Amino acid sequence: MAGILFVISAPSGTGKTSVIRRVKNLVKGLGYSVSHTTRPPRPGEKDGVDYHFVSQEEFNKMIQDGAFVEWARVYEGFYGTSYQSIESVTKGGNDVILDLDPQGAKNIKARYGSESVLIYLLPPDMESLEQRLKGRGTDSEEVIRKRLNSAVQQIKECLTYDYIVFNDGLDVAVEEVCSIVRAERCKAPRVVPHVKERFKIP
């Protein structure tokens, strides 16, 4: 597989979607792998752009057909990353940015090893996270409680990631993720083959 897989994970409400959107627009050669989900679209979400919204039956068939690199049940629905979604980006020589929970990130790392880079996005603190979740106005108090309780467990997973970025401010967080992408592209093991080819080094 050509291309690096950059996986972004974060507790719900941390600003992950905004960071990914900005990074994708700022860094050339970085495509987004659109995941499949069985949950209904939220206001403003578009099929094929934010997610591929499918029925539970369609999702189950994709599992049976071995279409997913990884899949999991998260909160109110099932989510999965298909091989086709990743390969549609990498076949053009581009890198991929993926929005996955820690379970999905582990599956990607287990399958792709050093060709995957795990980045965990953290909120400034739990109080800020709670304010952001309430500020979205899309979830009930019960759902917000569940998300906050889940966030405490999820945040522990950041200790196993390659990079940790605090989203104290969107501009800074975006620049830090962009810097990670650029640095990973310059790592010697990835660049050496091109150096040898360009300078005819045996």
> How confident is the model over 105-140, as pLDDT tens digits?
999 999 999 999 999 999 999 988 888 888 877 778
CA distance to 15, 174, 180, per residue, from 164 (Å): 14, 12, 10
SS3 assignment, position 110: helix
Question: What was the pLDDT predicted at 143?
Answer: 85
Report the CATH fold assignment for 5-198.
Rossmann fold (3.40.50)
**Model pLDDT, residue 181:** 98
CA torsion 192-106-54-39 (nearest 10°) is -130
State which H helix or E strand residue 90 sits in.
helix 83-90
Annotated domain spans of the chain:
5-198
pLDDT at 84 over 70: yes
**Euclidean distance between CA atoms 6 and 118, whole angstroms:** 6
User: With 70 as the cut, is the pLDDT of residue 1 above it?
Assistant: no
* pLDDT higher than threshold 70 for residue 101: yes
Distance of CA 5 to the CA centre of its chain: 9
Model pTM score? 0.86
